[in-house]
């Protein structure tokens, strides 16, 4: 697991990406989900991240990480998929598969991999004013698609499929709206217990102003996906979570996410079902764009023959890995005794 001193560095890097992506919603012509997802993937890809001008580059992040945690390594890679025409109905271009891997070379038994499938939705300005405010809403979800995704999650057992929500960051909205959203977050966080390394990092971030909580990119449960910008902020760390914290919590906990920490449990990390290696393997194949995996969905959902497709094959797959002790002598790095 990552020590608490490293967490602000990870948060800063992902939050900077959040700000870049969310900023595209404030253009004269706001970007759509496909374009926003493509940008998010580019910013997290080792090969393309530094093509964009940002306040905190990938190279700077990796250098700071090395200072805070010697012998650690952070890798991101992106694969964009092209599927056969026959599978087009299984594909949605705003999907991203995300496979997180934590490799502990010092204590190998603590290593883990977990895949996620994220369906992108963006918020739209208030129809009456044409501006973003707390009433700004997401496009209505497709009930049939949503129900099939929920059925797949139930079969997998750990909520692998979630929504990726694109919103404007509060700091670029009018002052009253920003204050309203901050108040909603304060109320939502008033019942949190700030224990363990992730909780202490969250408390530290709140005490310093909570910039990473005033996010633009959120991850949300299928079961309680918010309808508006207000609902996104008032459910923070209950059914929604900023992308920066979604990633940081998992790397911070090492394989302890299997034992659960409240925000992760609320986001569908089932502490028992997630130990099902076959479910993890299948979800990983879906997140990787494995076309053979779609043929097994009928069996997994208990239906025979042809089934209505779940448009879940991702346009992109992001692989994000954190390796501790990666650059240590392979003959000596495993902690014995």
Q: What is the pLDDT of residues 261-310, one digit of tens each?
A: 444 554 545 444 455 678 888 889 989 988 777 777 756 555 544 555 66
Nearest C-alpha neighbor of 69 from the set 159, 130, 13, 9: 9
Give the pLDDT confidence score for residue 226 in this predicted structure.
94
Q: How many residues does the chain have?
A: 337
Intervals of the chain under pLDDT 50: 255-263, 266, 268, 270-273, 304-305
Give the pLDDT confidence score for residue 200 in this predicted structure.
67
Give the pLDDT confidence score for residue 193 in this predicted structure.
59
Give the pLDDT confidence score for residue 272 in this predicted structure.
47
Give the pLDDT confidence score for residue 215 in this predicted structure.
96
Residue entry with tokens 């509060």: 170
Give the pLDDT confidence score for residue 262 in this predicted structure.
47
Give the pLDDT confidence score for residue 160 in this predicted structure.
86
Which 3 state secondary structure label does DSSP give 189? helix
With beta carbons less than 8 A apart as the criterion, state whether 54 and 40 touch.
Answer: no
Which 3 state secondary structure label does DSSP give 96? strand
How far is residue 261's CA from residue 249's CA, in Å, rounded to a whole number?
9
């Amino acid at each position: 697991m990552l020590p608490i001193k490293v967490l602000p560095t990870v948060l800063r890097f992902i939050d900077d990406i959040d700000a870049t992506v969310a900023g595209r919603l404030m253009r004269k012509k706001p970007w759509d989900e496909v374009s926003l997802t493509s940008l998010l993937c580019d910013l997290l890809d080792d090969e393309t991240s530094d093509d964009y001008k940002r306040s905190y580059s990938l190279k700077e992040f990796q250098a700071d990480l090395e200072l805070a945690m010697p012998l650690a390594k952070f890798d991101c890679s992106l694969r964009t998929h092209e599927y056969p025409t026959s599978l087009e109905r299984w594909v949605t271009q705003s999907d991203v598969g995300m496979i997180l891997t934590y490799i502990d070379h010092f204590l190998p038994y603590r290593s883990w991999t977990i895949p996620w499938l994220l369906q992108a939705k963006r918020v739209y300005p208030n129809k009456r004013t044409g501006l973003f405010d707390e009433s700004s809403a997401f496009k209505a979800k497709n009930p049939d698609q949503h129900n099939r995704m929920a059925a797949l999650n139930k079969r997998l057992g750990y909520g692998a499929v979630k929504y990726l929500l694109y919103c404007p960051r509060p700091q670029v909205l009018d002052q009253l709206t920003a204050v309203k959203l901050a108040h909603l977050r304060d109320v939502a966080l008033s019942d949190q217990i700030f224990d363990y390394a992730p909780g202490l990092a969250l408390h530290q971030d709140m005490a310093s102003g909570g910039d990473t909580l005033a996010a633009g990119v959120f991850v949300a449960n299928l079961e309680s996906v918010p309808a508006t910008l207000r609902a996104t902020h008032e459910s923070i760390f209950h059914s929604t979570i900023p992308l920066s914290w979604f990633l940081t919590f998992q790397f911070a906990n090492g394989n302890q996410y299997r034992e659960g920490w409240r925000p992760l449990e609320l986001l569908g990390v089932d502490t028992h079902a997630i130990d099902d290696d076959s479910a993890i393997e299948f979800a990983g194949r879906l997140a990787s764009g494995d076309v053979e995996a779609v043929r097994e969905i009928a069996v997994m959902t208990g239906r025979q023959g042809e089934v209505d497709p779940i448009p879940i094959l991702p346009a992109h797959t992001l692989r994000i890995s954190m390796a501790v002790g990666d650059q240590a002598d392979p003959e000596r790095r495993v902690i014995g005794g």
